[in-house]
A and B are shown apart, each in its own frame.
Chain A
Amino acid sequence: MADKLIPTPSQTVGPFFHVGLARPEWSDLTAGNPQGERIAIEGRVVDGDGAAVPDALIELWQANTAGRYNHPDDTQQDKAIDPGFRGYGRSATDFEGKYRFVTIKPGPVPGRSNALQAPHVNLAVFARGMLKQLYTRLYFVEDPANQNDPLLSAIDDAAARKTLIATRGAGGAYHFDIVLQGDGETVFLDI
């Protein structure tokens, strides 16, 4: 077997990433009129001082309403791909550290060993001052499937687990703050 190549290291997106990466239209995943329950996801990104992070970029990847990813590695035969739904989004934070997506609620997707994962969206956070992206997941507050989700179940500390669960605000939007450091620090994932 030949030696493996070393992957290219990550480097920070820096303070000026908007030049190349800001695509405001990509924060709305419903432009193709997908099936499923329309939802909004919004929140703030804050640093270890609780200060707004105005130069972060959030990327989102999720399954469709049936729980199928629009990707060749997802070979679930009993769920259809929705041609109106890509499942990918991008939102840059504003000067108050706020981001926002409009999307649909994903269905549950299979985990390992026949476990079912509760509906969730996958998030990657990029920012000045971050040499590589941080991965996390957003789960939905009222979903009974959260009880049996393998990842949530593996997080023993209830307060930490709670950081992965979006609450529902007065306006109906799901609210999910991303705390990079310190009190209420979001659980990040080593994938």
Chain B
Amino acid sequence: MTGQLSQDGNTAMEMKGLDYARPREGTQPPTLYPDYASTVKRAPHRAPVRFDHTLSEVTGPGFADGWAGPDNADLTTRHAGQPLGERIIVAGRVLDEDGRPVPGTLVELWQCNSAGRYHHPIDQHDAPLDPNFTGVGQVVSGTDGSWRFVTIKPGAYPWRNQPNAWRPAHIHFGIFGPGFITRVVTQMYFPGDPLLALDPIYQSTADTAARERLIADYDPNLSEAEWALGYRWDIVLRGRAATPIEAG
């Protein structure tokens, strides 16, 4: 069996204040969640080895200098014509657990089209591709942690997890944050979707308040009249174990 590193009471100077908080029980999904059938053969049997964070965990790639390429914040203007579907604005901030903005980090997004089909060769759902929609975007968060995309509302689509299963409309997001430890890939959902109650991927997070963080809010102030509906969604990343002391 694998062991466990003992908690070290004598923290070296270089790690002081750099440790990250551990997620509270139930606020993240488990590795094994049999209602999502594909987890059954892909979840480890052994418990992961827990150890105190080092520089290897708390550091991670930076993107503020544009290394990942130019921002691509408008998914509706990438082709000759406009994509079909309900035009939406999705915007929010990247924050840490203390509510502090996470600037200069890469926010990646991908989604299916309004008919529920991905621009991907293995997606064989009997729904049309849209020649004017690829469904991929990326931006680097601003100094206040903010980001904003223009896209179309993705459709629901069937999958074979259980009989007559349909994924609720969702947009995939990948966010880095300051360290390899803060990396999260997740999905944003839309308010009031009746499929959420039936979706094992959404339901896999036991804690209700944590789960509801995955649902965007309709925001009339973000909507633009006679043009697009606005949805607001803040992304919260793991934060430091010690509350940071503000300088000045």
Q: List 30 A-B contacts (CB under 8 A).
A: A2-B98, A5-B97, A9-B186, A11-B201, A11-B214, A17-B172, A17-B185, A21-B108, A21-B110, A48-B41, A51-B41, A70-B59, A73-B59, A88-B61, A110-B54, A111-B54, A124-B183, A131-B31, A131-B33, A131-B36, A133-B185, A134-B31, A134-B44, A160-B1, A181-B41, A181-B44, A182-B45, A189-B50, A190-B51, A191-B51
CA distance A112 to B53 in the complex (A): 8
Chain B residues numbered 1-50 whose CB sits less than 8 Å from any CB in chain A: 1-5, 8, 10-12, 14-15, 18, 20-21, 23-24, 27-31, 33, 36, 38-50
Given contacts A5-B97, A110-B54, A188-B49, contact A156 B108 (CB under 8 A): no
Q: Is the interface of A mostly helix, strand, loop or mixed?
A: loop
Given contacts A4-B239, A155-B49, contact A180 B43 (CB under 8 A): yes
* A18 touches which of B51, B60, B61, B120 (Cβ 8 Å): B120
Contact B238 A157 (CB under 8 A): no
Q: Name which residue of chain A comes closest to B5, CB basis.
A: A154
Does residue A19 face the partner (Cβ distance < 8 Å to B)? yes
Contact B237 A190 (CB under 8 A): no
Could you tell me the distance in whole angstroms from the C-beta of A177 to the nearest C-beta in chain B?
14
Contact B54 A117 (CB under 8 A): yes
Could you tell me the distance in whole angstroms from the C-beta of A78 to the nearest C-beta in chain B?
12
Q: Name which residue of chain B comes closest to A151, CB basis.
A: B51
* A157 touches which of B2, B214, B243 (Cβ 8 Å): B2
CA distance A19 to B55 in the complex (A): 32
CA distance A188 to B95 in the complex (A): 27
Contact A112 B1 (CB under 8 A): no
Q: List the B side residues contacting A18 at CB < 8 Å.
A: 120
Q: List the A side residues contacting B222 at CB < 8 Å.
A: none
Q: Is the interface of B mostly helix, strand, loop or mixed?
A: loop
* A74 touches which of B59, B112, B123, B180 (Cβ 8 Å): B59
Q: How many A-B residue pairs have CB under 8 A?
A: 267
Contact B61 A5 (CB under 8 A): no
Does residue A10 face the partner (Cβ distance < 8 Å to B)? yes
Contact B187 A11 (CB under 8 A): yes
Contact B49 A129 (CB under 8 A): no
Q: List the B side residues contacting A120 at CB < 8 Å.
A: 56
Binding site for B on A (CB under 8 A): 1-2, 4-21, 47-49, 51, 53, 59, 61, 63, 69-71, 73-76, 86-88, 109-114, 117, 120, 122, 124, 126-135, 137, 150-151, 154-157, 160, 180-182, 185-191
Contact B44 A180 (CB under 8 A): yes
Does residue B236 face the partner (Cβ distance < 8 Å to A)? yes
Given contacts A160-B1, A181-B44, contact A7 B36 (CB under 8 A): no
Most buried by A among B59, B96, B112, B211: B59
Given contacts A8-B213, A160-B1, contact A113 B235 (CB under 8 A): no
Q: Name which residue of chain A comes closest to B60, CB basis.
A: A61
Q: Name which residue of chain B comes closest to A90, CB basis.
A: B61
Could you tell me the distance in whole angstroms from the C-beta of A135 to the nearest C-beta in chain B?
8
CA distance A51 to B38 in the complex (A): 13
Contact B12 A6 (CB under 8 A): no
Does residue B197 face the partner (Cβ distance < 8 Å to A)? no
CA distance A168 to B235 in the complex (A): 41
Does residue B99 face the partner (Cβ distance < 8 Å to A)? yes
Given contacts A7-B97, A10-B186, A61-B60, contact A131 B108 (CB under 8 A): no
Q: List the A side residues contacting B180 at CB < 8 Å.
A: 59, 61, 122, 124, 135
Given contacts A11-B29, A73-B179, contact A129 B41 (CB under 8 A): yes
